[in-house]
């Protein structure tokens, strides 16, 4: 009701945010919590669309809080002062091997879009940070409706604060239903003209171009022990 931003108190109250992410895995997915940090963080990294922000003067305590979120599988955006610690966890979308996940349903390996691309990244300005936060909420297990909402935020915030389309928005499109409803036709046209994708305009479906097709039963994980049945 208040716009999705909640002040929970002083910095030591960050444990409540960690707990909220852990409860998603514990309550909604029924994952056991005791002695199971690895599986919980793997679940959050692949499924929970959360992103932390540590802006302003970067104390050692603030830096450790951001790192604590990273350990749990939650990306964090820090301000320009965060660069003084000379540490960042940034991904390389051009390295295909870095973006291969296991489908726990059958053990197959799936090349996925870079989401989240970074775990700890510094932004120089608030205008740069706003679309970055939206981008880091994208997850491989997003439904098409969820991905559509996230892409809407990513593109709209980039246009509002940077006056441009994000240079990598097409990487996160798996199917036409991933695209924002209001601008779907225009975005399909951009994909065809700028990225060389093949579009069936009669059915308004993407024929060729995405990194992978949308699979609603995709069960992503990085842990081989969670494979239910190998092929």
The tens digit of pLDDT for each residue in 173-223 reads 999 999 999 999 999 999 999 999 999 999 999 999 999 999 999 999 999
Please state the domain extents for the chain.
11-226
| 69 closest CA partner among 82, 83, 58, 53 | 53
Q: What confidence score (pLDDT) does residue 5 get?
A: 66
- Is the pLDDT at 1 greater than 70? The verdict is no
Supply the pTM of this predicted model: 0.91
| Predicted local confidence at residue 3, as pLDDT | 63
Cβ atoms within 10 Å of 202's Cβ, excluding its own: 6
The two tokens of residue 76 are: 């964090």
The whole-number average pLDDT for the span 22-26 is: 92
pLDDT of residue 214: 95
Average pLDDT score, the chain = 91
What are 46-83's pLDDT values in tens digits? 999 999 888 877 788 888 888 889 999 999 999 998 88
pLDDT (tens digit, 9 = 90+) per residue, 89-141?
A: 999 999 999 999 999 999 999 999 998 999 999 999 999 999 999 999 999 99
β strands within the chain, DSSP E:
52-54, 76-78, 89-90, 100-103, 109-111, 118-122, 198-200, 205-208, 220-221
Handedness of CA 180, 47, 70, 100 (dihedral sign): negative
**Which candidate, 73, 42, 219, 228, places its Cα nearest to that of 141?**
219
């Amino acid at each position: 009701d208040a716009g999705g931003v909640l002040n929970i108190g002083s910095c030591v109250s960050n444990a409540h945010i960690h707990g909220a992410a852990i409860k998603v895995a514990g309550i909604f997915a029924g994952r056991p919590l005791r002695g199971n940090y690895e599986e919980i963080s793997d679940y959050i990294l692949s499924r929970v669309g959360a992103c932390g922000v540590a802006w302003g003067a970067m104390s050692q305590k603030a830096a450790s809080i951001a790192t604590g979120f990273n350990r749990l599988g939650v990306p964090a955006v820090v301000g320009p002062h965060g660069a003084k610690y000379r540490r960042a966890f940034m991904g390389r979308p051009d390295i295909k091997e870095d973006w291969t996940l296991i489908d726990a349903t059958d053990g197959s390996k799936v090349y996925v879009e870079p989401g989240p691309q970074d775990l700890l990244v510094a932004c120089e300005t608030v205008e740069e940070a706003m679309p970055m936060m939206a981008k880091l909420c994208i997850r491989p297990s997003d439904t098409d409706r969820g991905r559509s909402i996230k892409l809407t935020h990513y593109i709209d915030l980039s246009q509002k604060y940077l006056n441009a389309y994000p240079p990598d928005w097409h990487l996160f499109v798996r199917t036409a239903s991933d695209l924002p409803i209001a601008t779907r036709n225009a975005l399909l046209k951009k994909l065809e003209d700028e990225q060389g994708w093949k579009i069936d305009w009669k059915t308004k479906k993407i024929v060729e171009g995405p990194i992978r097709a949308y699979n609603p039963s995709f069960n992503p994980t990085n842990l081989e022990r969670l494979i239910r049945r190998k092929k």
